[in-house]
Amino acid sequence: MPRRARLIMPEVPVHIIQRGNNRQACFYQDQDRKRYLDWLTEYAGGCGCDIHAYVLMSNHVHLLLTPATARAASAMMKSLAQRYTQYVNRKYERSGSMWEGRFRSCLIQDRTYLLNCYRYIELNPVRAQMATHPASYPWSSHRNNAYGVPSGLLRPHPLYLALGNDTHRRQVAYQTLFQHELDANLIERFRRSTNGNYALGDSDFATWVEEELMERASPAKAGRPKI
């Protein structure tokens, strides 16, 4: 059975997860993470992807980005995966792929879900008990988005910019978003939508995606198929 086409649309935010092969580690030293971010910056700019948030975990990566074209995200991820794999294989004298097949993704509806996707990504180290607060984890976008640490990688989404009339107000408003953990049901929706290649939003958003792409954008309803 052929796999479903990936749901990617120009100028529509997308959440991406790429895992290490067999869920093995893909970062061994801080220098590895630095190189990955350098190449992410290079290929994001070259392929036309605005990166809004990220986190580098030990065996997987989360990204929130907006692609300029339908092929921009795939082009960026392919180039990045190949470059980083070559680097790791040379450095650690290994062979084979670093990554578990295709990256997983879901389209994100701006309203309600986009800022929660920022939170979902940057709270990942806290949920994994690798940090007590997102600001204490150095390999995510939180310090940039919440406290203004300079970044050549990130491009703020308009909804992030709408949090305040100036940089200070935006950062304070953004920090406020992290005073509480994400609802468990919302966490599960992010996981299910990303692993299943669905659209994360309300029913109108899913319908719009399906009409635009002629692909199913939400899980099939349970039950026997109609004859």
Least confident of 68-77, 95-104, 216-225: 216-225
Q: How many domains does the chain contain in total?
A: 1
Compute φ and ψ for 140, nearest 5 degrees. -145, 175
Distance CA 14, CA 17 (A): 10
- Report if residue 220 sits inside a domain: no
Range of the domain at 84: 14-201
Cα dist. 165→5, 157, 168, 220 in Å? 40, 14, 8, 42
With respect to residue 210, please indicate whether it lies within any of the assigned structural domains: no
User: Does any domain span residue 18?
Assistant: yes
Cβ(139)–Cβ(55) below 8 Å:
yes
1 pLDDT more than 50: no
Task: Specify if 171 maps to a domain.
Answer: yes
Residue pLDDT, tens place only, 119-157: 999 999 999 999 999 999 999 999 999 999 999 999 999
pLDDT (tens digit per residue) in 20-49: 988 889 999 999 999 999 999 999 999 999
Any residues with CB less than 8 A from the CB of 124 and at least 6 apart, and which?
55, 57, 62, 140
Q: Which two tokens stand for residue 76?
A: 């960026």
Convert the pLDDT of each residue in 153-181 to its tens digit.
999 999 999 999 999 999 999 999 999 98
Residue 160 resides in a domain = yes
Residue 112 lies in a domain: yes
Kindly report whether the global pTM for this prediction surpasses the value 0.85. yes
Could you tell me the CATH number of the domain that includes residue 121? Answer: 3.30.70.1290
For residue 211, being part of any structural domain is answered with: no
Rounded to an integer, what distance in angstroms lies between the CA atom of residue 171 and that of residue 150?
13
